[in-house]
Amino acid sequence: MSIRKNLIFYLGCALSIGGALALAWYAYIQLDMFRTQRAANRLIDQKARNGQLYGHTPVPPHTLVIVPPRLGEPIGRIEIPRLHLSVAILEGTAPKTLRVAAGHMNGTALPGAAGNICIAAHRDTLFRPLRGVQPRDAIVIATTYGTFRYIVDRVEIVGPGDVRVLRPTTGQELTLITCYPFTYVGPAPKRLAVHARLAA
């Protein structure tokens, strides 16, 4: 009987320690995300005040010279006013980047340039508001060199290996990607792709 009590006691201790460690890891992730978002937003706002004013910046793509960002470097902030979404964007989609920010897919176009800008983030954290996205929603990307406004054209569900959504384009387009369904537990089997075009 005493052996059984000891086993229950030690099992309870192990579960308590495991729960405490899980909560500590979650708190660390949230704190790391908060610090990264705050630092990136501060940098974007500071550089924007010194250069461009906020508001739509209709820059012809052939006149805009953009310095390619380094991996992990802040490149802007994405906002969807109707969904109250405001997230800093870092260059690259490494796991450590997507843990704290939205990631710009390396090799795709940059905001303000011709082509398809592809941005990804996790559905259970920063891109969770995308579950309510609709055609004609406005998406604003503020960068250190200008602010660009896009209008959602269509929303589609695709497979995880469907690279068609990353295709280069001749116009100025934007594609947001996150896992789908939003209520799925574990690695999601599909992807939500939000397609938008630069506002005229």
Q: Could you report the per-residue pLDDT of 118-168, keeping only the tens digit for each?
A: 999 999 889 999 999 999 999 999 887 888 999 999 999 999 989 899 999
Please enumerate in sequence order all residues whose Cβ is within 8 A of that of 122, keeping only pairs 6 or more positions apart, or say none: 98, 99, 178, 179
In a domain, 2, yes or no: no
Classify residue 7: in a domain, yes or no: no
Q: What is the pLDDT of residues 36-88, one digit of tens each?
A: 777 777 777 776 666 543 444 445 544 555 677 889 888 999 999 999 999 99
What value does the mean pLDDT take over residues 85-109? 94
Inside any domain, residue 152 = yes
Q: How far apart, in whole angstroms, are the C-alpha atoms of residue 149 and residue 188? A: 30
Please, are residues 78 and 119 in contact by the beta-carbon 8 Å criterion?
A: yes
- Picking from 149, 137, 139, 75, the residue whose alpha carbon sits closest to that of residue 106 is 75
Where is pLDDT greater, at 199 or 54? Answer: 199
In a domain, 45, yes or no: no
Average pLDDT over residues 110-120: 93
Q: What CATH number corresponds to the domain at position 82? A: 2.40.260.10
Assigned domain for 23 exists: no
Q: Is the dihedral of CA 15, 17, 21, 27 positive or negative?
A: positive
Confidence of residue 9 (pLDDT cuts 50, 70, 90): low
Highest mean pLDDT among 46-50, 108-112, 191-195: 191-195
pLDDT of residue 56: 43
Extract the tokens encoding 128: 């969770």
Residue 1's pLDDT is what? 52
Can you give the pLDDT at residue 27? 61
Domain assignment present for residue 143? The answer is yes
Count up the domains in the chain and report the number.
Answer: 1
Q: If you average pLDDT over residues 190-200, what whole number do you get?
A: 94
Domain of residue 188: give its range.
50-198
Give this prediction's pTM: 0.77
Comparing 69 with 20, the larger pLDDT belongs to 69
> Does the residue 30 lie in any domain?
no
Q: Is residue 11 part of a domain?
A: no
Dist CA 108 CA 141 (whole Å): 15
**Average pLDDT of the segment spanning 176-200:** 93
26 compared with 42, residue with greater pLDDT: 42
